[in-house]
Amino acid sequence: REILDILEAIRSKAAEIIGLVNRAEDATIMSPHFPFIAIIGEKRDYRAADGKIISRDRYTILARLFSMQKMHHAYPVTGAICTAAAAKIPGTIVNQLSEDRGEVVIIGHPKGIIDLKVDVKPSGESIHINSITVGRTARRLMAGIAYYI
């Protein structure tokens, strides 16, 4: 629990710095969801929540997301977009740990992988991200029968 408390203190201070709250002490109550904290690790084979083995060859960066005072069970798209952008910005930790596959960024996370395509162009001394495209899958939420009378 100590590590989660440290992460929440960092997240709360970040919320203050970017103007989501006036005081870091208020962030847990007033902005419990944002900002996210991404935890990035070196690539390795791992077991997803459904028990399937995800090979290190299937993704470009291994990441977990901290939000709502706990580690997220998957990887929200908003966090994936930011992580993919960071993977293309030289000098970031995400960039240093990410395997370069051109425009493609594939994040390995607790539920599997999420694919993104980052269109990024150098612009002088800065980077311009033109777009980020996210690949999504669908899952059945319910099944049933409807009767017409």
If you average pLDDT over every residue of the chain, what do you get? 92
CATH homologous superfamily of 36-134 equals Diaminopimelate Epimerase; Chain A, domain 1 (3.10.310.10)
* Alpha helix stretches (DSSP H) within 31-142: 77-87, 93-97
Nearest to 60 by CA among 21, 23, 108, 92: 108
Q: Among residues of the chain, what percentage have pLDDT more than 70?
A: 99
- Mean of pLDDT values over 96-109: 94
Looking at per-residue confidence, does 70 or 60 come out higher? 60
- Output the CA torsion sign for 15, 40, 116, 132: positive
| Predicted local confidence at residue 135, as pLDDT | 79
| Predicted local confidence at residue 63, as pLDDT | 96
- Mean of pLDDT values over 76-80: 94
pTM for this model (two decimals): 0.83
